[in-house]
Amino acid sequence: MKYVVFVKQVPDTTLIAVDENGNLIRAGVPSILDPYSEHALETAVSLKKEGDLIVAVTMGPDQAQSALRRCLEIGADEAYLLSDRAFAGADVHATARTLSAFVEKFAADASLIMFGKQAADGDTAQVPAEVAEMLGREQFCYCVSVNAEDDHFVTVQDYGDERRTCRAPMGSVVSVSEGDINRRLPSIARFIEASEAEIKRLDRIALGLGNFSVGMNGSRTKIVKSVNVRSERLGKITDGSDPVKAAAYLKELI
């Protein structure tokens, strides 16, 4: 089996800022491996048997290599960084196009293509479905369980008000919403191996993509305005023994 896991490095959500185009400013902001991406990778590791291969892939600047090394620590066997200045500012469509190109050129034989259900910075949850559409693959979202059978996978999807068990054919796209909180932590030996492992880098030329099909040029979403909103509690206290006065006080606040 060959498991391709697309992951994302995301900024610390408490320190997010945006530029004049509405894009996240990542430079100088502490970043982590997206938690849902980690769930997807954990699921791949749980499925892995002797002879299987787990490939971790991310799109981003050079600093995204730290997320890939974290993937190698957890259990990935290979890591690819899709990095090109032309990729900057990509919306979900341009991102999905870039990731789909990777699958078509370097992982067409993938047994399962895996994502976290969404990313902590954008929360769109659209990329897995768009990749599945572009590749013409079956897609299974919100998966809380994935198990391998001889020639297919069995997934359990949680939609909140119902759960659905499905037979997923080989080559399907799966987005994972839960991971094992009791999983084993990476060993020191694994940490050292990951710090020295090769991370293969691919640009748009290697992926066979034109300059106007990626990044901001290839994006179909135009951000009109983006602002940071922070709610603050007033913490006001009043005497509520008189219902009429209390109601009037609340009305003034509204």
Q: How far is CA 165 from the centre of its chain?
A: 23
The pLDDT of residue 18 is 64
Q: Which of 120-124, 190-194, 231-235 has the lowest mean pLDDT?
A: 231-235
Answer yes or no: are the C-beta atoms of 62 and 199 closer than 8 Å.
no
Structural domains for the chain: 2-225 (3.40.50.620)
Is the model more confident about 35 or about 97? 97
> How far apart (Å, rounded) are the C-alpha atoms in residues 240 and 197?
65
The pLDDT of residue 209 is 95
The pLDDT of residue 21 is 63
Residue 9 pLDDT greater than 60, yes or no:
yes
Q: What is the pTM of this model?
A: 0.80
The pLDDT of residue 17 is 62
pLDDT tens digits for 131-155?
999 999 999 999 999 999 989 999 9
Is the model more confident about 30 or about 141? 141
Element (H, E) at 38: helix 35-47
Residue 231 pLDDT greater than 90, yes or no:
no
